[in-house]
Amino acid sequence: GQNIDQPTEMTATEGAIVQINCTYQTSGFNGLFWYQQHAGEAPTFLSYNVLDGLEEKGRFSSFLSRSKGYSYLLLKELQMKDSASYLCAVPYPNAGNMLTFGGGTRLMVKP
Amino acid sequence: DGGITQSPKYLFRKEGQNVTLSCEQNLNHDAMYWYRQDPGQGLRLIYYSQIVNDFQKGDIAEGYSVSREKKESFPLTVTSAQKNPTAFYLCASRDLTSTDTQYFGPGTRLTVL
């Protein structure tokens, strides 16, 4: 089976750095996705990690450790517009790349 | 403009009625997906399709039906058998030949009165 765990909510201050963790269990690893979703809107793709290590993309970075079943999304220089839910997802193995999503982490950025 | 469109944005339905949600994409993507999202929760897969005239059940297919008569279109029907249909419905698509990433439409918020 597949299982993903993320914290439900986090709060951080504008300009700060925040790390959102995700742990997963899957019978056949095929990458890990991070999506951002503002309230009432569609998720938008942030990152895809398939190899161990840190991938940086502007203010956002994503880290993966396959041996630990662990990933995190790092947001730097937080802005108010970063207030959103952040969804961690992994594909089902050998199943048309269906995604299993975590419950999402709602991040609130305060002034 | 290329993209995924869903209509309508908001939909109200009386209990006991079937309703069909539209999803169209002009990205030439092979695979299309329907997800349901309840308040404060993640996405759950309803149905998916990798090719025209073929589709597979996801985790929560009961009370829903789909069709894939054209590559561009993957409508979802919420039937009266779905006991708790009020939710946010998201359609996604993916190009199976070039990327593992799914791209989402803007969603339809269905409310059953």
- In order along its 111 residues, chain A shows pLDDT tens digits of 778 999 999 999 999 999 999 999 988 877 899 999 998 899 999 999 999 999 999 999 999 999 999 999 999 999 999 999 999 999 877 665 678 899 999 999 999
> What is the Cα–Cα distance from A62 to A84, expressed in whole angstroms?
17
Q: Which of A22, A6, A110 is nearest to A65 (CA)?
A: A22
Cβ–Cβ of A104/B88 closer than 8 Å? Answer: no
Cβ–Cβ of A97/B45 closer than 8 Å? Answer: no
A99, B45 contact by CB (below 8 A): yes
CB-CB neighbors (< 8 A) of B90 in chain A: 42-43
Angle ∠(A41,A46,A47) on CA atoms, nearest 5: 150
Please count the residue pairs, one from chain A and one from chain B, whose beta carbons lie less than 8 angstroms apart.
61
pLDDT at A30: 78
Per DSSP, the residues of chain B read ---EEEE-SEEEE-TT--EEEEEEE-S--SEEEEEEE-TT--EEEEEEEEETTEEEE-TT-TTEEE--SBTTB--EEE-TT-S---EEEEEEEE-TTT-S--EE---EEEEE-
- In order along its 113 residues, chain B shows pLDDT tens digits of 569 999 889 999 888 899 999 999 999 999 999 999 998 788 999 999 999 999 999 989 999 999 999 999 999 999 988 889 999 999 999 987 776 788 999 999 999 98
Most B-contacting residue of A98, A106, A108 (CB-CB within 10 A), to test interface: A98
Burial class for A26, CB neighbours closer than 10 Å (0-12, 13-18, 19+): middle
Cβ–Cβ of A43/B90 closer than 8 Å? Answer: yes
| Residue A8, Ramachandran bin (φ over 0: left; ψ between -120 and 50: alpha; else beta) | alpha
CB-CB neighbors (< 8 A) of A106 in chain B: 40
